[in-house]
């Protein structure tokens, strides 16, 4: 959908970039898992069982740097990959479920081959299969889940069964690594500081600093490993140069070799070196633990001056710079983490239907390792932070139409018109890239957490929508990170209605309570709802604190600690609370379903008294069978959230405020803050686990998405929709939350479309909203894409906190997206 | 207040009406129009009287609502239709079927239809009520947005339109009036102080053709345009480009020339390619669409039209 006003951004991409894009497409049909990293860690841990956990981790990372296979492809603009070859699928054996490994690779030969040895999809060698089964035996009582088993209280297992191991059995991830330090300071300087600190401790060892000595020794080891890895790449470049097909490529490889000898140890001297440093560091982060969503924050801020210097001294042309940004994005996007881990049944079924392993990965949320890049914003002194790198990053997204990594743009009064224009054009074309973030409110939420103003101004987004101080905060978003356990408010609603049980799954809640027909008043029901939320959050807090202990005890995260501000300074790993700031997120979801359900109960049963609570309860239990007239009355007569109506919006405000206030006021992990947010990636799946709800929804149907109103409930048009959502207590949503707007293609047809979308975003922000995501997609086009996916490979839509290629989404999510409210006339 | 009880008939109020003037606007659509443009995309706007609208897709079948509309109809115009596959579960359902020859638009059925599959094509309202509603969107009007009063022909309900504009103007709201130009000149003179921008249609320069296409000649329309220009109104001229009906080069040139004669009053000329989105609305009313085979003009042609208008020094855009 290129209109005339947008064509000015539509510059051609280079042949080399085209080739890199094609390479990715090819590899998507030939996926390999990264066994190399898992072999190295297993070997190291076997041979060093008694080594202290943080030294063991450092030893493994050094070994990985020193022995991993290094490959340089013929067309590569940037070197290497997190795995032995481009786009290897990462998974960590020490956090992978034993049950999964055994059920996949311990299956019959025939089923194993039908799942894992299918050309065009995914390939696991017989040798690797044999190896992983043996390795699983080794890790059985030594992996992260085993640590959790060793220290979790019995009640966790009683309540959650085997699922509890899954929760604790994965790295939390979700933070903004300090790429700035890696690029502008380097590992050599960090190593020197660690050495100085170590010498100091040796002089005066105390009970307080003895553990820090081990930490510094580990950091030095990691720095040594990284410096060595960079030099190994230098060597590989020289070797490759010997057989280079052209003199130009030979010269380029020698230049790269020279750079790799310098970078990592020393600060980057030019744009190529800066971007390559970031990639090397990213490979380390992925190898350490599959940190889902390590997110490069505010990178344009330090890349801008380097870029401008290159342009000024004539070592780089603008076209070459643009190509470097293009290649960097593709390279970040090439990192892929296996999630969810498919079962053999799923793989075999997919293969029978002509689908691949890659299709099963379900869109962009797993690719790019969940990374999100934040650009723009403010400097510590409050002035605007936009430069040529900001613009080139946006242009790269516009040109490449990639769904991964995600992109977030910070908006404030300094945002230049040109950036606004480019960002909106980019979002129209690239399906919701970037998302827009409101500095005014987000900086205030940072201040509320106790972050000083200079650091508050340097926030970035990680994961999907979650803000944190870039490079200085060990942050976790509960919903999506390893800790798991964001709250579907619908779970709590079900307990309140059905008497502490979810009729769909039979699962019992934690707190016995009345059934819908036993409440005397709406206020009594509200009080029960609050009591259940509190109880849930208290339990969740215990879960988080114990899960943090798992990592503190045995699973440090050195790749983060080596750069995160606060760790080197304090001598503590991030998992020991070393980061300058610590945060723990809890996300609620299904706001629309819950608000409308409560509104229905209030209006019909208690205000108008036209339906008794017993009748509504019976209708719900019957999944509306025989009660269609009542259901239709509800759908058509009850005032719902999303229409700028006081009553339902007030109900929404009541429970979201209650949740946020209670959660934010509790002490967080590592003595950090608790950060409430509103986001959900699993509303379709969660709907399948939920019985009928009073808003007229039938059992199994999707829930409303994140903080958005229910699709069918929006009747008063787009402005009312936006206004209702703006009424959430966004100033308490320290962990973020976005309005997702799907604009009708017609509404961005005319030449002033960009200015109108801008005004809509500005108005939403002026009303207190913090994040705005929009996609433009025609229902007709989406339907066509379902029929002929091959013709619509580039079609990107914004889903939740992330964008995804539409054709990679599972069918039920495609349907849900098509049914989303379309705004515009 | 004088305008408190002034009533009007409208058929919609829409927020984020991005095609009805600058910025983010909320548009009030009044009912009733003296013109009958062949390409009219809002058939429900033509008569001021309310008609019965029917959206079969919303009908849940007579079994569930127990013949609500059938029982309510005094003319026996509604019956059970042919059994069709039910949408929400296996089995068949019978939706309402309307015999338009019997229907008198008494709208009794719309009062009992739970899902509003049967609905009135408009409603009566007051200036105050509309004012309250549109002012809820005020937060979006910063930087150049506001309210557009459109139709039908808003000038056909002059008391309502005039009082609404006046009341909004008193609250400092930017107001556009979307008009065909077909109303008495003295009414335009009266409303002029309260309108920030007129969205003014020019459909054909030849009066006979104009009459053929819209049912009325263009003399009054052109006269009012000149009147508004002379009295310092701001005009945004809107030219619908309808293939075969008004897209001949001579007509386009005459239209552009006319815009030039209006001088600096013309802030912008918008060229609106014909589109088909209104067709389904005819089905809902049980009417026949008059241009069933007409296709929208292609992009290349529209760009040529744009260049033609630009060659007259006019500030133009495709819309």
Domain end (from B120, B136, B153) = B120
Query: CB contact, 8 Å: A822 with chain B?
Result: no
B111, B245: one domain: no
Place of tokens 């690719």: A367
pLDDT of residue A8: 66
Nearest 5 degrees, angle CA A214-CA A219-CA A224?
125
Whether B65 and A759 lie within 8 Å, measured CB to CB: no
- What are the angstrom distances between the C-alpha of A200 and each of A174, A582, A643? 33, 27, 64
- Comparing CB atoms, the residue among A636, A718, A752 nearest residue B115 is A636
Question: Which among A480, A482, A475, A441 is positioned nearest to A461, based on CA atoms?
Answer: A475
The answer to whether residues B157 and B138 belong to one domain is: yes
- 3-class secondary structure for A754-792? HHHHHHHHHHHHHCCCCEEEEEECCHHHHHHHHHCHHHH
Asked whether residue B114 falls in the same domain as residue B146, the answer is: no
* Nearest-5° Cα angle at A773, A770 to A775: 165
The answer on B97 and B192 residing in a single domain is: no
* Mean pLDDT, residues A638-662: 97
User: In this structure, what DSSP letter does residue A580 have?
Assistant: S
Per-residue pLDDT of chain B in tens (319 residues, 90 and over written 9): 455 679 999 999 988 887 889 999 999 999 999 999 999 999 999 999 999 999 898 899 999 999 999 999 999 999 999 999 887 678 899 999 999 999 999 999 999 999 999 999 999 999 999 999 999 999 999 878 999 999 899 999 999 999 999 999 999 999 999 999 999 999 999 999 999 999 999 999 999 999 999 999 999 999 999 999 999 999 999 999 999 999 999 999 999 999 999 999 999 999 999 988 788 889 889 999 999 999 999 989 999 999 999 999 999 998 8
Residues B186 and B255 in one domain: yes
Q: A interface mutation test: which of B15, B25, B274, B310 has the most A CBs within 10 A?
A: B15
Span A93-146, pLDDT tens digits: 998 888 899 999 999 999 999 999 999 999 999 999 999 999 999 999 999 889
Confidence of residue A167 (pLDDT cuts 50, 70, 90): low
CA distance A487 to A589: 7
Question: Is B1 within a domain?
Answer: no
Q: How far is A717 from chain B (nearest CA, A)?
A: 6
* Whether residue A482 has pLDDT greater than 50: no
Q: What distance in Å separates the CA atoms of residue A624 and residue A698, rounded to the nearest whole number?
A: 7
The residue among B120, B138, B167 that closes a domain is B120
Q: What is the pLDDT of residue A159?
A: 76
State the best of B118, B140, B310 to mutate against chain A, taking most chain A CBs within 10 Å.
Answer: B140
Chain A, window 742-771: residues with a beta carbon less than 8 angstroms from a chain B beta carbon: 746-747, 749-753, 755-756, 759-760, 762-763, 766-767
Residue B182, domain member (yes or no): yes
CB–CB contact A763 B23 (8 Å): no
Could you write out the three-class secondary structure of B180-248? CCCCCHHHHHHHHHHCCEEEEECCCCCHHHHHHHHCCCCHHHHHHHHHHHHCCCCEEEEEEECCCCCCC
Using alpha carbons, list the distances in angstroms from residue A492 to A512, A534, A544, A556, B125.
Answer: 12, 11, 19, 34, 42
Contact B139 A723 (CB under 8 A): yes
Are A75 and A320 contacting, i.e. CB atoms less than 8 angstroms apart?
no
Looking at the fold, whether B188 and B45 belong to one and the same domain comes out as yes
The answer to whether domain A8-110+172-476 has CATH 3.40.50.150 is no
What number is the average pLDDT over the span A223-242? 98
Above 90 in pLDDT, residue A78? yes
Tell me, what CATH number does B244's domain have? 3.20.20.70
In this structure, the answer to whether residues B175 and B251 fall within a common structural domain is: yes
Q: Which of A277, A733, A673 is nearest to A461 (CA)?
A: A733
* B262 φ, ψ (degrees, to nearest 5): -80, -10
Nearest to B115 among A632, A717, A722 (CB): A632
pLDDT band at A483 (very low <50, low <70, confident <90, very high): very low
With b for 16 or more beta-carbon neighbours within 10 A and e for fewer, the A775-785 pattern comes to bbbeeeebeeb
Chain A environment of B145 (Cβ under 8 Å): 759
Which residue of A719, A753, A755 is in closest CB contact with B140? A719
A660 touches chain B (CB under 8 A): no
The reply to whether B39 and B85 lie within a common domain is no
pLDDT band at A763 (very low <50, low <70, confident <90, very high): very high
Report yes or no on B2 lying in a domain: no
Tokens of A71: 């490959």
pLDDT of A338 reads 84
Contacts of residue B25 in chain A, CB cutoff 8 Å? Answer: none
Q: How confident is the model at residue A155 (pLDDT cuts 50, 70, 90)?
A: confident
Check CB contact under 8 Å for B115 and A719: no
Taking 90 as the threshold, does the pLDDT of residue A404 lie above it?
no
CB contact under 8 A, A717 and B16: yes
pLDDT score of A163 more than 70: no
Q: CA neighbours within 13 Å on the CB side: how many for A676?
A: 24
CA distance to partner chain B, nearest, from residue A706 (Å): 23
The helix/strand/coil state of A52 is coil
Among A636, A756, A767, whose Cβ lies nearest the Cβ of B18?
A756
Give the span between the Cα atoms of A528 and A544, in whole angstroms: 24
Q: Is B64–A628 a contact, with Cβ atoms under 8 angstroms apart? A: yes
Q: What is the pLDDT of residues A780-820, one digit of tens each?
A: 788 888 888 777 776 777 766 666 777 777 777 787 777 76
Instruction: Give the count of Cβ contacts less than 8 A between chain A and B.
Output: 88
Give the end-to-end CA distance of chain B in Å, rounded to a whole number. Answer: 39
Mutation to test the A interface, candidates B11, B14, B16, B133, most A Cβ within 10 Å:
B16
CA distance A140 to A94: 9
Q: How far is B190 from chain A (nearest CA, A)?
A: 31
**Chain A residue closest to B26 (CA)?**
A719
Q: How far is CA A553 from CA A147, A288, A561, B69, in A?
A: 8, 16, 15, 70
Q: Select the residue of A4, A719, A749 nearest B15 (Cβ to Cβ).
A: A719
Tell if the CB–CB gap between A759 and B15 is shorter than 8 Å. Answer: no
Which residues of chain A have a CB within 8 Å of the CB of B139?
Answer: 723, 763, 766-767
Q: Please name the residues in contact with B251: beta carbons below 8 A apart, sequence gap of 6 or more.
A: B204, B205, B206, B209
From first CA to last CA, the distance across chain A in angstroms is 18
Per-residue model confidence (pLDDT) at position A40 = 98
DSSP H helices in A208-337: 210-242, 247-262, 271-288, 299-312, 318-334
Tell which wins on pLDDT, A429 or A161: A429
* Domain limits, chain A: 8-110+172-476, 487-743
The parent domain of residue B67 ranges over 52-120
Q: Is the pLDDT of residue A291 over 70?
A: no
Q: Omega of the bond prior to B268 within 30 degrees of 0, cis?
A: no
In degrees, rounded to 5, the angle at the alpha carbon of residue A670 between the alpha carbons of residues A666 and A674 is 30
What total of structural domains would you count in chain B? 2
Nearest CB among A632, A717, A750 relative to B60 is that of A632
Q: CB contact, 8 Å: A66 with chain B?
A: no
Q: Does A217 touch chain B (CB under 8 A)?
A: no
Q: Is residue A230 within 8 Å of A570, Cβ to Cβ?
A: no
Picking from A719, A747, A756, the nearest residue to B26 by CB comes out as A719
CA B33 to each of CA A489, B45, B54, B150, B238: distance values in angstroms, whole numbers, following the listed order: 50, 7, 22, 11, 17
Residues of B whose CB is below 8 A from A767 = 139
Contact between B18 and A719 using a beta-carbon 8 Å cutoff: no
Specify whether B59 is located in the same domain as B164: no
Question: Alpha helix locations (H) across B73-179?
Answer: 108-112, 127-135, 158-170
Q: Give me the mean pLDDT over the A676-698 stretch.
A: 88
By the CB < 8 Å criterion, does A1 face chain B?
A: no
Subunit contact B136:A720, Cβ cutoff 8 A: yes
Mutate to test the interface with B, among A645, A724, A756, A762 (most CBs of B within 10 A): A756
| C-alpha distances in Å from residue B24, one per residue of A591, A643, B140 | 27, 18, 6
Same domain for B27 and B38, yes or no, is yes
CB contact under 8 A, B17 and A825: yes
- Residues of B with a Cβ under 8 Å from any A Cβ are 14-19, 22-24, 26, 60, 64-66, 88, 114-116, 136-137, 139-140, 142-145, 277, 303, 317-319
Q: How far is B80 from chain A (nearest CA, A)?
A: 18
Does B26 sit within 8 Å of A753, measured CB to CB?
no
Q: Span A644-657, mean pLDDT?
A: 97
Contacts A719 to B, Cβ<8 Å = 15-16, 24, 26, 136-137, 140
CB A181 within 8 A of CB A565: yes
Domain check: are B314 and B167 in the same one? yes
Q: Is A718 on the interface with B (CB under 8 A)?
A: yes
What distance in Å separates the CA atoms of residue A54 and residue A512, rounded to the nearest whole number?
Answer: 44
CA nearest neighbour of A585 among A471, A502, A494, A680: A680
Q: Which residues pair with A678 in a beta bridge?
A: A588, A737
Task: Tell me the chain B residues in contact with residue A760 when contact means C-beta distances shorter than 8 Å.
Answer: 16, 24, 140
Contact B156, B34 (CB under 8 A): yes
* Interchain CB contact of A417 with B (< 8 Å): no
Contact list, B138 vs chain A (CB under 8 Å): none
- If 0-12 CB within 10 Å is exposed, 13-18 middle and 19+ buried, where does residue B1 land? exposed
Does the residue B284 lie in any domain?
A: yes
**H runs (alpha helix) in A508-645:** 522-554, 558-561, 567-570, 591-600, 613-621, 628-637
Specify the range with the lowest mean pLDDT, choosing from A237-241, A360-364, A533-537, A733-737.
A360-364
Q: Please give the residue that has the higher pLDDT: either A446 or B86.
A: A446
Same domain, yes or no: B276 and B127: yes
Q: Which of B103, B120, B137 is the last residue of a domain?
A: B120
Contact A644 B136 (CB under 8 A): yes
**Cβ contacts of B142 on chain A, cutoff 8 Å:** 759, 762-763, 766
Does the pLDDT of residue A2 top 60, yes or no? no
Which whole number is the average pLDDT over A225-236?
A: 98
User: Is A723 touching B (CB cutoff 8 A)?
Assistant: yes
Which SS3 state, helix, strand or coil, does residue B274 take?
Answer: coil
DSSP symbol at A398: H
DSSP A603: I
A646 touches chain B (CB under 8 A): no
Which is nearest to A409 in space by CA: A424, A429, A388?
A424
What tokens does B205 get?
A: 């320069």
Mean pLDDT of A629-649: 95
């Amino acid at each position: 959908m290129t209109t005339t006003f947008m064509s000015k951004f539509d510059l051609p991409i280079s042949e080399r970039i085209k080739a890199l894009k094609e390479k990715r497409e090819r590899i998507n049909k030939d996926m390999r898992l990264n066994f190399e990293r898992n072999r190295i860690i297993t070997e190291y841990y076997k041979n060093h069982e008694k080594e202290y956990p943080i030294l063991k981790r450092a030893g493994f990372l050094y070994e990985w740097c020193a022995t991993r296979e290094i490959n340089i492809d013929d067309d590569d603009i940037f070197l290497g990959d997190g795995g032995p070859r481009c786009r290897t699928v990462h998974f960590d054996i020490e956090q992978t479920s034993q049950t999964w490994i055994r059920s996949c690779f311990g299956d019959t030969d025939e089923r194993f081959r039908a799942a894992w040895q299918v050309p065009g999809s995914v390939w696991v060698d017989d040798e690797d299969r044999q190896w992983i089964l043996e390795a699983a035996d080794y890790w059985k009582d030594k992996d992260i889940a085993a640590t959790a088993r060793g220290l979790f209280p019995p009640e966790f297992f009683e309540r959650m069964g085997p699922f509890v191991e899954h929760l604790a059995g994965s790295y939390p991830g979700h933070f903004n690594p300090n790429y700035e330090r890696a690029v502008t300071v380097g590992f050599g300087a960090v190593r020197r500081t660690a050495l100085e600190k170590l010498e100091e401790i040796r002089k005066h060892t105390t009970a307080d600093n003895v553990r820090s000595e081990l930490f510094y020794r580990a950091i030095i080891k990691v720095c040594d490993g990284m410096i060595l890895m960079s030099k190994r790449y230098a060597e590989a470049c020289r070797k490759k140069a010997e057989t280079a097909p052209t003199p130009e490529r030979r010269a380029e490889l020698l230049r790269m070799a020279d750079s790799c000898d310098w970078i990592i140890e020393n600060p980057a001297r030019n744009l190529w070196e800066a971007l390559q440093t970031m990639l090397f560091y990213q490979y380390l982060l992925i190898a350490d633990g599959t940190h889902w969503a390590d997110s490069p924050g505010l990178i344009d801020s330090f890349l801008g001056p380097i870029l401008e210097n290159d342009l000024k001294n004539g070592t780089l042309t603008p076209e070459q710079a643009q190509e470097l940004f293009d290649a960097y994005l593709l390279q970040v996007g090439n990192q892929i983490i296996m999630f969810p881990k498919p079962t053999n049944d799923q793989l075999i079924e997919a293969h029978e239907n002509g689908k691949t392993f890659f299709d099963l990965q379900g869109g962009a949320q797993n690719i790019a390792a969940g990374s999100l890049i934040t650009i723009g914003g403010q400097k510590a002194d409050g002035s605007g932070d936009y430069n040529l790198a900001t613009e080139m990053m946006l242009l790269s997204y516009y040109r490449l139409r990639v769904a991964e990594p995600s992109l977030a743009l910070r908006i404030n009064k300094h945002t230049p018109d040109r950036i606004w224009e480019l960002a909106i054009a980019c979002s129209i074309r690239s399906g919701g890239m970037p998302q827009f973030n409101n500095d005014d409110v987000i900086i205030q939420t940072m201040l509320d957490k106790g972050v000083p103003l200079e650091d508050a101004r340097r926030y970035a987004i990680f994961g999907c929508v979650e803000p944190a101080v870039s490079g200085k905060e060990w942050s976790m978003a509960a919903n999506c990170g390893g800790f798991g356990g964001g709250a579907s408010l619908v779970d709590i609603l079900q307990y309140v209605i059905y008497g502490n049980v979810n009729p769909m799954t039979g699962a019992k809640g934690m707190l016995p309570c009345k059934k819908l027909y036993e409440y005397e008043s709406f206020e009594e029901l509200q009080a029960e709802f609050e009591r259940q939320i509190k109880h849930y959050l208290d339990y969740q807090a215990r879960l988080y604190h114990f899960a943090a202990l798992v990592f503190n005890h045995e699973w440090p995260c050195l790749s983060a600690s080596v750069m995160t501000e606060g760790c080197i300074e304090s001598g503590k790993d991030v998992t020991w609370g070393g980061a300058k700031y610590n945060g723990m997120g809890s996300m609620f979801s299904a706001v629309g379903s819950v608000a409308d359900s409560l509104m229905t109960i209030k209006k019909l049963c208690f205000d108008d008294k036209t339906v008794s609570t017993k009748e509504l309860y019976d209708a719900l239990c019957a999944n509306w069978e025989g009660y269609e007239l009542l259901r239709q009355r509800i759908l058509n007569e009850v005032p719902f959230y999303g229409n700028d109506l006081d009553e339902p919006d007030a109900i929404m405000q009541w429970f979201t405020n209650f949740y946020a206030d209670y959660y934010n006021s509790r002490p967080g992990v590592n003595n950090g803050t608790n950060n409430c947010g509103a986001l959900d990636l699993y509303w379709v799946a969660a709907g399948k686990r939920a019985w009928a709800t009073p808003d007229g929804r039938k059992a199994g149907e999707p829930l409303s998405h994140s903080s958005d109103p229910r699709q069918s409930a929006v009747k008063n048009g787009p402005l009312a929709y936006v206004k209702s959502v703006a009424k959430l207590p966004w100033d308490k949503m320290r962990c973020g939350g976005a309005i997702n707007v799907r604009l009708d293609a017609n509404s961005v047809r005319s030449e002033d479309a960009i200015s109108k979308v801008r005004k809509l975003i500005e108005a939403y922000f002026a009303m207190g909203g913090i994040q705005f995501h929009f996609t433009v997609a025609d229902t007709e086009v989406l339907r066509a894409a379902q029929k002929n996916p091959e013709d619509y490979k580039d079609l990107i839509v914004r889903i939740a906190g992330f964008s995804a290629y539409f054709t990679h989404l599972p069918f039920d999510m495609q349907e849900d997206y098509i049914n989303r409210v379309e705004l515009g006339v | 207040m004088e305008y408190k009880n002034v009533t009007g008939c409208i058929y919609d109020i829409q927020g984020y009406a991005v095609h009805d003037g600058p910025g983010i606007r909320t548009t009030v659509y009044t009912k009733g129009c003296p013109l009958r443009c062949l390409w009219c995309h809002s058939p429900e706007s033509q008569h001021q009287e309310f008609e019965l609208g029917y959206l079969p897709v919303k009908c849940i079948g007579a079994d569930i609502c127990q013949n609500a509309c059938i029982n309510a109809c005094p003319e026996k115009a509604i019956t059970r239709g042919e059994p069709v596959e039910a949408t929400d579960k296996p089995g068949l359902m019978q939706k309402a079927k309307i015999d338009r020859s019997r229907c008198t638009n008494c709208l009794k059925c719309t009062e009992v239809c739970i899902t509003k599959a049967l609905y009135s094509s408009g409603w009566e309202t007051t200036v105050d009520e509309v004012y309250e509603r549109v002012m809820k969107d005020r937060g979006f009007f910063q930087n150049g947005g506001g309210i557009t009063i459109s139709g039908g022909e808003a000038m056909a309900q002059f008391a309502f339109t005039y009082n609404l504009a006046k009341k909004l103007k008193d609250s400092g709201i930017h107001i556009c009036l979307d008009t065909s130009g077909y109303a008495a000149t003295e009414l335009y003179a009266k409303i002029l102080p309260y309108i920030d921008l007129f969205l003014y249609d020019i459909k054909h320069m030849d009066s006979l053709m104009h009459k053929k296409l819209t049912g009325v000649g263009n003399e009054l329309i052109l006269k009012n345009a000149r009147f508004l220009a002379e009295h310092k109104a701001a005009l945004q001229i809107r030219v619908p480009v309808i293939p075969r009906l008004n897209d001949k080069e001579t007509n386009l040139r005459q239209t552009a020339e006319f815009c030039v004669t209006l001088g600096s009053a013309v802030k912008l000329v918008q060229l609106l390619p014909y589109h088909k989105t209104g067709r389904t609305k005819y089905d809902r009313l049980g009417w026949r669409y008059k241009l069933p085979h007409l296709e929208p003009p292609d992009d290349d042609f529209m760009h040529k039209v744009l260049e033609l208008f630009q060659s007259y020094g006019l500030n133009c855009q495709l819309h």
